[in-house]
Amino acid sequence: GAVVSQHPSWVICKSGTSVKIECRSLDFQATTMFWYRQFPKQSLMLMATSNEGSKATYEQGVEKDKFLINHASLTLSTLTVTSAHPEDSSFYICSAEPGQRLYEQYFGPGTRLTVT
């Protein structure tokens, strides 16, 4: 149980285009989902927290107009990188949390984004 999937697992896009990454909780309802970013040889940095049906809360320094997050249902959150640039190339990982309390977060397998 508690499986989180991400799609796609890797994507290459050209500079200036937009790319959407999906995060799904497969066997539970996730009221809260989190998006992280990881550069090579570095740790995970929280980008934003999304709650179903409301606007995402972005961490300081994360451009909300560039990284659009939508949490339209209890099992799906999407991250859209708009007008991507090579510096946006990174490993993006989502996690999902069941319920309103601080239960364990379940992590997706990650999406490797390369912007050329």
Partner 1 sequence: KQEVTQIPAALSVPEGENLVLNCSFTDSAIYNLQWFRQDPGKGLTSLLLIQSSQREQTSGRLNASLDKSSGRSTLYIAASQPGDSATYLCAVRGSYNQGGKLIFGQGTELSVKP
- The residues of the shown chain that bind partner 1, judged by CB under 8 A, are 6, 34, 42-46, 49, 91, 93, 95, 101-102, 104-110, 112
DSSP output for 61-113: T--TTTEEEEEEETTEEEEEE-S--GGG-EEEEEEEEESSS-PPPEE---EEE
Least distance from partner 1 to the Cβ atom of residue 109, Å: 4
Query: Which residue, among 22, 49, 20, 27, has the nearest Cα to 36 in the 3D structure?
Result: 49
Least distance from partner 1 to the Cβ atom of residue 27, Å: 16
86: left (phi over 0), alpha (psi -120 to 50) or beta: alpha
**CB closer to partner 1, 14 vs 101:** 101
Least distance from partner 1 to the Cβ atom of residue 25, Å: 14
